[in-house]
Amino acid sequence: MNKALLVSDAAHFRVDYEINPYMHTEVQPDHAAAVSEHEAIVAAHRAAGRRIEYVASAPECPDMVFTANAALVRGDRAVLGAPPPERKAELPYFQEWLINNDFDVLEAPYPFSGQGDALACGDLLLAGYGQRTDRRMHAVLGRALGYEVVPLQTVSHRWYDLDLAVAVVEPGRTLAYCPQALDEPSRRRLGGLGMDLIEVSVEEATRFALNLISDGVTVTMTRGAPRLAAAVRERGLRVVELDTTELAKGGGGVRCTALTLDNPLPAAS
């Protein structure tokens, strides 16, 4: 899984507004450092054998480096994100890229944070709601992309996207999550999946530990979470830890910077 990723670049990455609790307009990213941080993430994906597609960032879109929010893709279908007003200007660029690359593109009828609130795990979709995604999107995603949806609600704006609170380490087998980030029914739903669950502390989760990309072999993640990194290594996966200091000023980490283009389709029955 996750062998083809759509990324942008950090050329226009800035903090122009505050739409999550990690963003402070008085704390701007260092331009050169942000660009090299992003380049190092992309280089790590390539080294792990992942195919990279690019959409160039636009000057009027300071958050465009976070491509995960653009859509959720499966097979030849993409459901576009419906982000907060501050990020609406990004959509036409992603829509154009997806159409030019032969995806059948659907618009979201309700607020939807794209892959930020939608973690594919085989035929299951761990889907967030209550922050940037309207729960009514779950039925839309289930129908459009053929997923069985597992709804998960995060408890505060600190977890404004589900991919800060939960991570798929090995599809169908291992998840990592921060228990304090989810409400009780959501914790029960996760527990009920019968998978191995790695618990991550609030401290590591707020350093975007869970905002990782895994293909089941290599886990690409932030350097700020040694305990999660160790737990993943113990399970026999390779871990690549990267600096995400500048991206963190926008409230994101490794996973936010890539949109998966090849989530597996259901096995033919």
Name the residues that contact ligand ARG, by CB under 6 A.
19-20, 23, 63, 66, 68-69, 87, 116, 161, 163-164, 250-252, 256
Please identify, using beta-carbon distances, which residue of 195 and 256 lies nearer to ligand ARG: 256
Cα angle 21, 27, 30 (rounded to 5 degrees) comes to 125
Quick one: which of 95, 47, 43 has its CA closest to 67? 95
The answer to whether 250 and 63 have CB atoms below 8 angstroms apart is yes
* CA dist., res. 20 & res. 13, Å (int): 15
Rounded CA Rg of the chain: 17
Question: The tokens of 124 are what?
Answer: 């299951």
Q: What are phi and psi of 139, to 5 degrees?
A: -65, -35
Report the nearest approach of ligand ARG to the CB of residue 248 (Å).
10
Structure tokens given for 136: 């009514």
In whole angstroms, give the CA distance from residue 239 to residue 132. 30
Type of residue found at 6: L
User: Structure tokens of 57?
Assistant: 């960032």
CB of 182 to ligand ARG, least distance (A): 16
| Smallest separation, CB 132 to ligand ARG (Å) | 8
- Which residue's Cβ lies closest to ligand ARG? 116
**Closer to ligand ARG by Cβ: residue 188 or 246:** 246
Task: For the CB of residue 128, give the shortest distance to ligand ARG in the complex, in Å.
Answer: 10
Nearer to ligand ARG, 65 or 198 (CB): 65
Cβ-based nearer residue to ligand ARG, 119 or 198: 119
Name the residue nearer to ligand ARG (CB basis): 157 or 238. 157
Rounded to a whole number of angstroms, the minimum distance from the CB of residue 178 to ligand ARG is 14
**Of residues 150 and 162, the one with the C-beta less far from ligand ARG:** 162
- Report the distance separating Cα 204 and Cα 10, nearest Å: 24
163 CB contacts (<8 Å, ≥6 apart)? Answer: 68, 115, 116, 117, 119, 210, 211, 255, 256
- To ligand ARG, the closest distance from the beta carbon of 65 in angstroms equals 9
Spatial contact of 219 and 241, defined as CB atoms under 8 Å apart: no
Closest distance to ligand ARG from the beta carbon of 150 (Å): 18
Residue of 207, 260, 264 lying closest to 52 (CA atoms): 260
Q: Which is nearer to ligand ARG, 117 or 215 (CB)?
A: 117
